[in-house]
Structure formats: C-alpha cells, structure tokens
Chains A and B, each alone.
Chain A
Amino acid sequence: MEHTLLNLVIVIILLSNIRLLNTSRIPVMIVAVAIQGWVIGSLPLLLHWEHFQLTLFLITLITVSIKGIILPRLLNRSMQQAGVMREVEPFVGPTLSLLIGLFLLSLSFWITSSLRSSLPEGLFFIPVLSLFTVFNGLFLIISRKKAITQVIGYLTMENGVYAFGASLAIDHPFLVELGVLLDVWVGVFIMGIAIYHINREFDHIDTDKLSTLKH
C-alpha cells in the first residue's frame, strides 16, 4: 500500500511538472504548483510513516497549508490584480519547453544514478523527480517573461529542494524547518507586492521590459 502511494506521488510530481512546462495559462500553472505543493508537502509523512512523530505531523500540516493553500491563493490574487491570465510569447514556446523538460529529466536521471551508490535503500525515483523539479523551476524563471510566472518558477524550485531534502531524510531542527517555510512564504508575499507595483507603474508585468538599468 505504501508502495502504491509513493508511486502515485511520483506520477503526480512528474505530471505537475509537465503541465507547468507546456501551458501558457497562468491559472493552470497555479493549480499545478498547488497540487505539487500538496504532494511534496506530505512527502516526509509518507516516507517516514513508521517513525511517526508529532513534530513530523505538524511540519507536514504547516507545509501543506503554506505550499498548497496559502501561496497559491497569494499568487491568484496577484494574478487578478495584474489582470494577466496568459504568458504571451515566452522566450521558449510550450513545445520546445517540453523537449527541454525531457532533457532536464534525463539529466536528473543521470545525476541521480551517478550518486546512486550512496543514496538511501530503495529510493531512486523521488530524488530524480526532485532534481527535475528544481531544474524545471530554474528553467521556468529563465524562459518566461511575466513576473508572476517567474514567481511560480521560484516556488517550483523551492518545492524541488524540499522534496530532495525529504527524500534524503534530512531532519533539521523544528525551528529551522519553520524558518525555511516562513522565508518562502514572506518571499512570495513580497514578490506579490512587487508584482502589484510593477503592474501599476508600467502597465505590464513583462520582466524583459525592465531594462533601464544596464552595465
């Protein structure tokens, strides 16, 4: 049963990443990143079911509510304030993005297999997909123009880092774990405010047009 659940998690992470890559509709991207947040947030609990602890449960609860509920809502609000629903003409189109995604996935496979000898027993696909999520986030930040899509990329990347940590069974002290989450939360919050200001000042949120400062 545990195995089936983990496989399901793997599939969902993969699908959410693919969805992020090949859509230009921002509401869809937000939903994808929210689902990813749900799944990745509950990963520590799924992986360490046998060593059930209260702090583990608390962390899962807080992570899921931040990554899966609060941050997507913040993004939604920013999107509505800016009135931008689509990523028009990104630097890299959806089809090519998908191809690059395929390449990134193979890259993650390659890196993880070269580290395989020192990975925990029986875990292979979760580190692969975590790395893929990190690369995917980075790629979204580089290849998309809208400020809000870049924030979605940042969130994807953070999701990947979190999943990677969870799959290697890294436990930070409770306070540090909370601090990391708080930082991500405040970060996205401030970015949301920045998007609001960019929209108001420039009438658009295309970051490639933010280019007065040079040298």
Chain B
Amino acid sequence: MAWILVIVPLLFGLFSFILRNRRIVLLFFLLGGILHFVLTIWVWISPMEGNSLVFFDPLGMLILTVTSSLFFMVTFYSIGYLKNHMERSSLTVGCMFFFLAAMSLVSVSADMGLLWVAVEATTLASAPLIYFHKDHRSLEATWKYLLICSVGIALALMGNIFLSYAGGDSIAGLYIPDLMSNANRFEPRWLKVAFILLVVGYGTKMGLAPMHSWLPDAHSEAPSMVSALLSGSLLNCAFLGILRAFGILRLSGLGEWGGNILVLFGVVSLILAALFLIRQTDFKRMLAYSSVEHMGILALGIGVGGLAGTGALLHLINHSLIKGFLFLVAGNILAFYQTKKIDSIAGLIHRAPKTAFLWMAGFFAIAGSPPFGLFVSEWIILKGLIDSERWMLIIVYLIALFIVFVSLARYIIPMTYSSSASNIEKPEGWFLNKEPLWMWVPSLLLASIPLIMGLYVPPVLFNFLSAVFSVWGGV
C-alpha cells in the first residue's frame, strides 16, 4: 500500500505507452491526474504506514502535494495542447506519468539511496519530454540536460557513499529516520564532504548557480506544460534532497556550517540570475532565470534559518504554483505568436485579452508584489534576515529583488500593452483565433491559490510549515 502513489502513475504510464488509441490515451491522462491528486489527499486524511524504504513525513507530503496539484492542473492544459499534436500524445503522456511517478518517489523516499535513484529517474523520464519538438534546439537542450544532470547526480551518489561511511558501524544503511536519530554519531569530517557533494549534486538538478547551465535551455525548449512541471515540481524535488541532508547535518551539530554553504549558493544564484535577467531576448528563458533566482531565495532562506526558513517553505509553495501557471501562459503566447522573441511580441492585450490579463497578473505575482503570496513569503524571509542581523545579505537580497522586478517589468509590460502590432504577421496554419477554455482556466485556478495566500495565510498552514522547518532546518 505504501507504494501506491508511485505505482499508480507508473501503471498509467505503461498503459499509455501500450495503448494505440490516442483519444483513450488523453482520457487516461485526465484520469491519472485526478486519481493521483485524490490519492494524495487521501494520504493526508488517513495517514499510511511506511516501510523501510518509503515513508510519509510532513516535508515529503508537502512536496508531493505541490507536485500533485500542479500536475492535476497541467493535465487539463496538456489535453488541450496535445489535441493539436495528436501524433505525439502516446509517448508524451507515458513520459509525463513516469515523470510523475519518479517525482512521487522522491517525495516519499525514506532512504537516501532510494531518493537518489528517484531523482535520477526524474531526469530520465523528463528527457524525452524536452525533446518534444524534435528540432535542433530541443535536441541540444536535451543533451545538455541529460549530461549535466547525470554528472551532477553522480556526485550526489558519491555524497551518499560518504554519508553512509560517515555513520561508521553504528548506523547501517541510509534510512533517514535512523540517520536522524543517530546524527550525533557521525564522523564530522566525512559528513562535511558528504554534505558538500550532496548540495553540489542535487543543486545541479535544482538549478543553483553556477551549476544551473542546463536549466534555461531545457525550460525554454520544452513544451510549456513540461516547463511548468520542470520548474514547479522538479526543482522542489531536488531541493528536498538537499533539505534531507541538511536536516541530518543540523542534528549532528554542523547546522551553522551547512547553513553558510546554502547561503553561499543561494546568494550566488540570486546575483547571477538577477544579472542574466537584465538582458533577455526570449521570454521563456526569462522565466527560467527567474526560477534560478527563486531557487536561490529558497537556499538562502533555509540557510539563514529561523523565520526565514519557514518563509522559504511558504515561498516554495507560492513559487511552484505561480511559475507553473506563468509557463502555461507563456505557452499560450507562443501559440499565438509562434515566436519566443520578446521583441516580436506586442499588443497581447488586443490579441488575447485573457492571456494578457494572466500574463500581467503573473508578472506581479512572480516579481513579488502584493497582493500575491510570493510577496508575503519574500517579506517573511526578509524579516528572518533582519532577525539574524546579516546586513550584507539583506542588502544583496533587496538589490537583487529590485533588479529582477525592474527587468521583468521592462519586458512584460511592453509585450502586453504596446500597440505597434502592425509589423507582426499572423502565423499560418495555426488553429487559434480565440482562446479556448483549456488555455486559461487551469492557469486562473493555479493563480487563485497564491492570490488567496497573499491576502491571508491560514495560521494552520503557517504553523504546519514552521513545524516542518523546525525538524529539517532548526531555529
């Protein structure tokens, strides 16, 4: 029973591969998405027993719920999308399910080894999805993604070996609860090496700079529903690997040292992403760099700890939902204009009003302005930084956020409102003259949750997050 969340999408994936009828595959897609979401809710309601390899702890459940909700919404969008690319539906749906299965396995892994297997499996399941368009550019992106992430993840495997050896004879295996309860028995030198290798390895997958080089390529070349999942779910899964390692490190008394390493990677990502965002020509790459920025904020928040850590977990939820819907909206823009060049897009508000509205809302949401949840979580992280009295960090954090805001505004506002649409020819053969429901309803639903969280963060949620953080990050 403990494996059900992994087995269900796996079976759905296998059937999608085998089934020849494309309409049935799409129906399957919808069913699978709903079923996985229902199962996730069900695990919340009646907690399941784990075993030596899988468990359902609050942190993993948090990541799983975000993944499952995003996937659920993305299915609606994808079905609309795939109806226009019927010839690829079988392979795409199959890989999407394998991807979901791998991400679910990451969330419920109770063994650092199994976690590694699952993270590597996410790479393999999503690589064919990035190659969806079957052209030069997507092939290049796929190759970089496969090679860079596999090499990164191989370092994380090395990290697992060091972790296992650091435990000596007193801790057998890599069962996470065991590692945590025996954390004081680790040999500190080996544990430090293990942590660095794990952060570099999973950090590659998470998109922390300077290991992020695959991320903008993969996110911009993949079809939009895949980009949404890559950015909204996959990065969180890699982050989970780092958090698990950090939780163990903290209990062994090296929390401050480990926190500083996370802060370092966080700051580098934040600065680099802000600098790269200043000059962008491609709006999907722009969103990808924004993901690097937000991953930097997550690492920073967890590294600083205290209130900033709780804020980082809230940030994770907000970022996933907002980035998910922004990529879906970016997919709409791509469908209307058939180009990813920012310069060639103008007058979105006249051409596709609903998409334009969502695009603007997404801009405010991702840039961290009220009334969206990302504002609240960035504010909480700032409060945490002030509490910790690291003034240099605060300055860097604020300047980077400011640069990001201005750069995004400079591109997104003209795309939406400028009216010099005369030089843009309508692409031929595209089916769209108006916006069908699948293009905007899932995005609107995804946007509504961060909006609610911007106006009111339920105390239950906040207390839950701070309880989770007190286990994995400490105060």
**A residues engaging B (CB < 8 A)?**
115, 118, 134, 138, 141, 147, 150, 154, 157-158, 161, 164-165, 168, 170-173, 175-177, 179-180, 182-183, 186-187, 190-191, 194, 197-198, 201-202, 207, 210-213, 215
State whether A212 and B140 are in contact (beta carbons under 8 Å apart), knowing that A154-B147, A173-B111, A173-B173 are contacts in the complex.
Answer: yes
- Tell whether, in the assembled complex, residue A171 and residue B161 are in contact, meaning their CB atoms are under 8 Å apart: no
Q: Which of A118, A158, A179 has the most CB of B within 10 A?
A: A179
Kindly identify which residue among B136, B146, B172, B280 contacts A215, using a CB–CB cutoff of 8 Å: B280
How far does the Cβ of A117 sit from chain B's closest Cβ, in whole Å? 9
For chain B residues 113-170, which have a beta carbon within 8 Å of chain A? 113-114, 116-117, 120-121, 123-124, 127-128, 131, 134-137, 139-144, 146-147, 150-151, 154, 157-158, 161, 164-165
- Tell whether, in the assembled complex, residue B111 and residue A150 are in contact, meaning their CB atoms are under 8 Å apart: no
C-alpha spacing A92/B200, complex, angstroms: 26
State whether A215 and B216 are in contact (beta carbons under 8 Å apart), knowing that A118-B187, A172-B173 are contacts in the complex.
Answer: yes
Kindly identify which residue among B154, B173, B276, B285 contacts A161, using a CB–CB cutoff of 8 Å: B154
State whether A187 and B161 are in contact (beta carbons under 8 Å apart), knowing that A207-B143, A212-B137, A215-B285 are contacts in the complex.
Answer: no
Q: Is B174 an interface residue (CB 8 A)?
A: yes
Using CB atoms, name the residue of chain A closest to B221: A213
State whether A190 and B127 are in contact (beta carbons under 8 Å apart), knowing that A168-B165, A173-B111, A212-B137 are contacts in the complex.
Answer: yes
Told that A165-B161, A187-B124 touch, could you supply 16 new A-B pairs with CB distance under 8 A?
Answer: A154-B150, A154-B151, A171-B172, A172-B164, A173-B52, A173-B111, A173-B173, A176-B113, A176-B114, A177-B113, A180-B113, A187-B150, A190-B146, A210-B140, A212-B140, A213-B217
- Tell whether, in the assembled complex, residue B124 and residue A186 are in contact, meaning their CB atoms are under 8 Å apart: yes
Number of B interface residues at 8 Å Cβ cutoff, please give it: 49
Contacts of A150 on B, CB cut-off 8 Å?
147
- Tell whether, in the assembled complex, residue A212 and residue B116 are in contact, meaning their CB atoms are under 8 Å apart: no
Contacts of B147 on A, CB cut-off 8 Å?
141, 150, 154, 191
**B residues engaging A (CB < 8 A)?**
52-53, 111, 113-114, 116-117, 120-121, 123-124, 127-128, 131, 134-137, 139-144, 146-147, 150-151, 154, 157-158, 161, 164-165, 172-174, 187, 189-190, 216-217, 220-221, 276, 279-281, 285
How far does the Cβ of B193 sit from chain A's closest Cβ, in whole Å? 8
Kindly identify which residue among A115, A165, A176, A197 contacts B139, using a CB–CB cutoff of 8 Å: A197
- Tell whether, in the assembled complex, residue A168 and residue B161 are in contact, meaning their CB atoms are under 8 Å apart: yes
State whether A164 and B161 are in contact (beta carbons under 8 Å apart), knowing that A173-B53, A173-B113, A175-B114 are contacts in the complex.
Answer: yes
Using CB atoms, name the residue of chain B closest to A181: B117
C-alpha spacing A208/B116, complex, angstroms: 29
Interface pairs A-B: 10 shortest CB-CB? A179-B117, A176-B113, A183-B120, A210-B140, A213-B217, A172-B113, A165-B161, A170-B164, A168-B165, A186-B124
- Tell whether, in the assembled complex, residue A213 and residue B114 are in contact, meaning their CB atoms are under 8 Å apart: no
Using CB atoms, name the residue of chain B closest to A178: B117
